[in-house]
Amino acid sequence: MALQILIVDDCPAMRAFIRRVLKLSGMDVGNYFEAANGEEALAILAVNPVDAVLTDINMPVMNGEEFVRRMRASELLQETPVVVISTDATLNRIRAMQALGAVGYLQKPFGPEQLRNELDRVLGVCHE
């Protein structure tokens, strides 16, 4: 079944790139939802259930840390897998996001294969 994916990043060009890479990866994505920050993303998730969320960390209004924290505190959203996409690959940052509840982490730069592998892994883990 086609996936429903939410992309959260304050840069429209990066959201367009992620959409492009998902298409290049050959993944069957039915709908792309997009948000520029965590607050917009929560509003979208309140009415549109998705299979996975791809989120940046540094964003205005509500950053990725607070966004993941609120998802995990929500009965409705706590099971939705979150993959963080960030330039920051320091162990401190990865551990902090995992502790908040992110199940995947992809460092920029990345290509279609890496994105697909991470999404496959995360969706597989969550479906077990």
Partner 1 sequence: MNELDSLIGALLHSCSEHVLESMFFTSIWEEADPLAGNGLERVASRLHFHGKPSGDFEVDADPGIARSLTAGFLGIDESEVTPLQEDEVMAEFCNMTCGSALSSLGQVEYFSLEPAAASRPREFLPSVEGVRRAFQLEGGTLSVCLRVDFSG
| Interface pick for partner 1 out of 25, 34, 72, 93 (rule CB under 8 A) | 93
Q: Please report how the helices 38-47 and 64-73 are oriented relative to each other, as an axis angle in degrees rounded to 10.
A: 30
Query: Total number of residues binding partner 1 (CB under 8 A)?
Result: 21
Query: 119, 83 in Cβ contact below 8 A?
Result: yes
Gyration radius of the chain over CA positions: 13
Which helix (H) or strand (E) is 83 found in, with range?
A: strand 82-86
Q: Is 11 in the site for partner 1 (CB under 8 A)?
A: yes
In angstroms, the CA 23 to CA 94 distance is 26
| Interface pick for partner 1 out of 46, 90, 120, 125 (rule CB under 8 A) | 90
| Interface pick for partner 1 out of 26, 30, 46, 58 (rule CB under 8 A) | 58
The residue range among 25-33, 40-48, 74-82, 87-95 that interacts with partner 1, by the rule CB under 8 A, is: 87-95
Q: What does the binding site for partner 1 look like in residue numbers (CB under 8 A)?
A: 11-14, 16-17, 20, 58, 60, 86-90, 92-93, 107-111
